[in-house]
Amino acid sequence: MYKAVCRDKTYKLGDMGGLYHGKILLHWCDSCHTPVLADHCACGENTRAVPVTPPGDARPAFPDDIEFVNQVYEERFGMQIIPDDQIALLNKVPDHDRMEEIIVGGAIVGAIRYLPARKRWEALPRPDAVLIDKPEKRSIIIDDGAFQSVRDGRSLLAPGLISCDCSVREGDEVIMMTQAGDCAGVGRARVDAEEANLMERGQVVKTRKNISSKYTPGKATWDDVIKANEKVLAKAEAASGKFIADNISPYKHLPMSVSYSGGKDSLATLLVVMNTYRKLPILYIDTGLEFSSTEDNVRDVQERYDLECVRIESGDEFWRDFQVNGPPARNNRWCCKTAKLEPLRRHIIEKYGENGELVSFIGQRKYESFSRMKNPRVWRNSYVQNQVCLAPIHTWTALHVWLYIFREKAPFNILYKHGVDRMGCYMCPASDAGVFEKIKTIHPELWQEWEKAVTEWMDNNGVPESWFESGEWKTQGYQSV
């Protein structure tokens, strides 16, 4: 895990590698009760920084996300963590699999984390969660005398315990409350409830260090959020327009298009290119591994903005190479070359000749991940050298992207509303197990197709089933098994 050294400036990132020198852009306006991506809100008030974990690419929690997060908290603590009339955000945290911080009222009220080995989600509340709802399960009542010590991050010892809810098992996340209903802290139980209630000495809960946060509840809608960020969005749009104007000159004579994937970032890129530069065709590569909603979205966008759509079909090339290579993995991503880059390279040559070139506007953003931070904004694809790429929204966070899409009332991929935050190939090995669980629920037929193909391939190649079952296939290509 990373360690935040100094919020807003520099972060030491432990096993995530290196130092992060970016600024956390997410702020909160306590008058409008909205997130604001600047020091000032459009209402005139100063905003305060929200101490999210870097890289800080928070996004809106859609109704399905809210329902899901509340279900996880209901199951573990018998409580709701996201009220239905407040704005909530989710912030993806670097973790072994999927972990998301939950932001409500300008505070991080908790997190959820997927545990691949146990195939379940874990709820990790923060003390502010009890300002929203009181836990009915896995709570521990402590003596007032122990309050400050727990608040300061010290473990709860047996003499400080008044009672432990019978649902608590060793290793569970628990919430420590006073009899008056104040939350002293959260942590992990060291013993089962039965033992805790009988103990006279020793550690009952290992307290998690409290990170100070400020929960200011208040009703707001997404229209209010757009209003609060009016200037932010205008500024971001103008900056992207300036980036295009400053960098396009050497390539002005070349054919151009916006690379469109059906994802939010390519949609925002398309909008900003249309609004600040000009209308261009969209270029869509059908890898044969797309969600049906992606196809729907490409058609919707094309119709809404009356755009030419250049479709590149990679046909069954993925499945042909699959027979030879087996499933792609994070350390063996042959799939991008087969299903995207090679069809694109051939398309450029067929359409513009051997020395032909194409300019592509691409929705790459630095806040997506630490590795993207260092990427340039204008580059040539290393495999498709005749593609010149420009990233107009490189400096935008996911919240800029969403607010811009909402402001423009643009048609976005419906899968985002169902808790999938990553478009592209449905079985991409870069996805985490938590996302695969969602895809299995929404599109069981796609997952069955994948499971069947991989199982057949494993049978033919004498690979043990556990390699797929454990999720190891995603990280370790077959060669390294």
Strand partners, 257: 360
**Contact between 335 and Zn ion (CB under 5 A)?**
no
Q: Residue 182 or residue 230: which is nearer to Zn ion going by CB?
A: 230
Residue number closest to Zn ion, CB atom: 41
Binding map of Zn ion across residues 44-63, x = CB under 5 A, - = no contact? -x------------------
Q: Residue 43 or residue 239: which is nearer to Zn ion going by CB?
A: 43
Residue from the set 26, 29, 289, 463 that interacts with Zn ion by CB under 5 A = 29
Number of residues in contact with Zn ion under rule CB under 5 A? 7
Binding range to Zn ion, per CB under 5 A, among 17-25, 34-42, 274-282, 347-355: 34-42
| DSSP string for residues in 145-198 | HHHHHHHTTPPEEGGGEEEE-TT--TT-EEEEEETTS-EEEEEEESS-HHHHHH
Residue from the set 4, 43, 310, 453 that interacts with Zn ion by CB under 5 A = 43
Q: How far is the CB of 44 from Zn ion (least distance, A)?
A: 7
Q: Residue 60 or residue 424: which is nearer to Zn ion going by CB?
A: 60
CA 145 to chain centre: 40
Binding range to Zn ion, per CB under 5 A, among 30-38, 103-111, 284-292, 335-343: 30-38
Helices 292-304 and 264-276, packing angle to 10 deg: 10
Cβ neighbors of 117 (< 8 A, separation 6 or more) are none
**Contact between 216 and Zn ion (CB under 5 A)?**
no
> Quick one: how many helices (H) and strands (E) in the chain?
16, 22
The CA-to-CA distance between both ends of the chain, in Å, stands at 26
Binding range to Zn ion, per CB under 5 A, among 4-12, 40-48, 250-258, 439-447: 40-48
Cβ neighbors of 19 (< 8 A, separation 6 or more) are 10, 11, 12, 13
Q: How far is the CB of 228 from Zn ion (least distance, A)?
A: 5
Binding range to Zn ion, per CB under 5 A, among 43-51, 272-280, 310-318, 361-369: 43-51
Q: How far is the CB of 102 from Zn ion (least distance, A)?
A: 22
Of residues 221 through 240, those in contact with Zn ion by CB under 5 A are 228
Binding range to Zn ion, per CB under 5 A, among 32-40, 88-96, 347-355, 421-429: 32-40
- Report the candidate in 455, 424, 421 with the shortest Cα–Cα distance to residue 438: 421
Binding range to Zn ion, per CB under 5 A, among 22-30, 291-299, 447-455, 460-468: 22-30
Burial (Cβ within 10 Å: 0-12, 13-18, ≥19) of residue 297? buried
Residue 110 · residue 124 · CB < 8 Å: yes
**Contact between 32 and Zn ion (CB under 5 A)?**
yes
Looking at this protein, which amino acid is placed at residue 193? A
Q: Residue 49 or residue 410: which is nearer to Zn ion going by CB?
A: 49
What is the β-pairing status of strands 256-259 and 173-178? Answer: unpaired
Q: How far is the CB of 450 from Zn ion (least distance, A)?
A: 46
Q: How far is the CB of 43 from Zn ion (least distance, A)?
A: 3
CA distances (Å), origin 163, targets 166, 177, 179, 196, 356: 9, 10, 10, 8, 74
Cα four-point dihedral sign 426, 430, 431, 432: positive
Residue from the set 10, 31, 369, 470 that interacts with Zn ion by CB under 5 A = 31
Residue from the set 41, 82, 89, 232 that interacts with Zn ion by CB under 5 A = 41
Residue 10 · residue 19 · CB < 8 Å: yes
- Report the candidate in 222, 174, 220, 221 with the shortest Cα–Cα distance to residue 196: 174
**Contact between 38 and Zn ion (CB under 5 A)?**
no
Give me the residues that bind Zn ion (CB under 5 A), please: 29, 31-32, 41, 43, 45, 228
